[in-house]
Structure 1
Amino acid sequence: MSPRRVVLVELAEETAAIPLARMLRDAGLEVVHVGHLDTAEKIACTAEQEDPDILGLLGGPVPEGLAEALSGTTVIELGGESPEKAAEMLVGGRSHTLGTPSDRVR
């Protein structure tokens, strides 16, 4: 079984996307960090190209109509969650790797 694919989108300039992406990768998920996207159309187009299982939105509310445009993809608003809490939400529970930071973070 292949790992779940997560696309991370930043809705605000300052988010914890990089540490979150590393934690998710260390937990065994495939992560695509697309950076800052500012419209529902850009996010939907990117999600269609990347074909994720989960679309994680950091730094803002889910743009209107996005969840409906991406039926079949789980859209999760991560808001101002810490990277650790956001990783737990996306992984679906505690992972043994979430408590140990990536080698790149240490």
Structure 2
Amino acid sequence: MRRDRPRVLLVEFARPDPAAVALGRVLRDAGAEVVHAGPLDTAEQIVRTAEQEDPDAVGVLGAGPPSGLAEALGDVPVFTAETAAEAVERLTGGRSHTAEAPSDRAR
């Protein structure tokens, strides 16, 4: 099944990260469909959620991606908040005008 928009799963690993909402907005504004799974504690939970949601990419915030996650997800790329601008460009085919902008709350 071919999608019109890339689907991104956002996960807060090990601890809540308020940047997840802002990153979700940036991805959405860039044309991606965003599924925010919220805080998950283990790599297994992330993999199970990814199997259910069938994302084109998985964003891990809060703490770095757990070891072995990229291998467990196979061809689904994993990105972090530090590489979010690159992920937006790769997923949507262009740069987002809001990728580097602070969240609404910071303005």
Normalized per residue, which structure has more helix? 2
How many angstroms does 1:59 deviate by?
1.7
Unaligned runs of 5+ in 2: none
Query: In the alignment, is the contact (CA less than 8 A) between 2:26 and 2:96 conserved in 1?
Result: no
Letter in 2 for 1:7: L
User: Is 1:46 matched with 2:49?
Assistant: yes
- TM-score, with length taken from structure 2: 0.78
- TM-score, with length taken from structure 1: 0.78
How many angstroms does 1:98 deviate by?
4.3
How many angstroms does 1:101 deviate by?
8.2
Unaligned runs of 5+ in 1: none
Residue aligned with 2:4, SS: coil
Show structure 1 runs of 4+ deviating over 6 A. Answer: 99-102
For the aligned residues, what is the CA RMSD?
A: 2.4
How many angstroms does 1:64 deviate by?
1.7
Aligned length, in residue pairs: 98
1:61-89 CA distances to partner (integer Å, 9 max, x unpaired)?
A: 211221111102111132xx4xxx72x22
